[in-house]
Chains A and B, each alone.
Chain A
Amino acid sequence: GAVVSQHPSWVICKSGTSVKIECRSLDFQATTMFWYRQFPKQSLMLMATSNEGSKATYEQGVEKDKFLINHASLTLSTLTVTSAHPEDSSFYICSASGRSKSYNSPLHFGNGTRLTVT
């Protein structure tokens, strides 16, 4: 089945530094990728949608200058948390959709990246 790989699975960084999270589709071309954030005991919240070769669309309340998304190829999207602060500590999850934009196509999710900002 379709596989989405996310790296790193966990990262600890100091306040003020930037962290890059990679999301790769391993056996299919992902024309659209989604980035979610999940705080403890809460549900997933969509942060942004990225389409290959174009600018990401951010959800209301998500700072585009803080959460930089790059979807430069059909198999790779990156999320960079710039100038991270402790309140950015969360579980970040990506998902990908292939070329077939059928309603029958499920989304494939990565296993998430746990970010801890100290």
Chain B
Amino acid sequence: DAKTTQPNSMESNEEEPVHLPCNHSTISGTDYIHWYRQLPSQGPEYVIHGLTSNVNNRMASLAIAEDRKSSTLILHRATLRDAAVYYCILRDDFGNEKLTFGTGTRLTIIP
């Protein structure tokens, strides 16, 4: 599986935007970029995913670099409830559904 690299931790002030980076320099042409987050003592929660174009949903936005070797998850206005570990995961489209989790980024929101 192609690997992703994320900062171990980040901090952000409440009500400010948060940009969570992810590097995936060995991404293949068929890999989708998925983001999940895990709140304390809970299972992971799907956030967003994309292939080449930027994506928006009610939770976040995903900005994908033109060469697809990096991406950024954007939380437009962080709240205390966004404090979690965020995982950037590559997933191919050849029916291999499993998700391989890296270490993720632990996001702390400062009130």
Cβ-defined partner of B97 (8 Å) among A36, A107, A109, A111: A107
Q: Are A43 and B102 in contact (CB-based, < 8 A)?
A: yes
| B46: A residues at CB distance < 8 A | 106-108
Take A43-B104, A103-B32, A103-B92 as given contacts and tell me if A34 and B98 are in contact as well, using a CB distance cutoff of 8 Å.
yes
CA distance A111 to B39 in the complex (A): 10
Take A32-B97, A106-B34 as given contacts and tell me if A95 and B43 are in contact as well, using a CB distance cutoff of 8 Å.
yes
Q: Is the interface on chain B under 10, 10 to 19, 20 to 34, or 35 or more residues?
A: 20 to 34
Instruction: Classify the secondary structure of A's interface with B.
Output: strand
Residues of chain A at interface, number, CB under 8 A:
27
Q: Are A109 and B44 in contact (CB-based, < 8 A)?
A: yes
Cβ-defined partner of B93 (8 Å) among A93, A103, A114: A103
**B110 CB to nearest chain A CB (Å):** 21
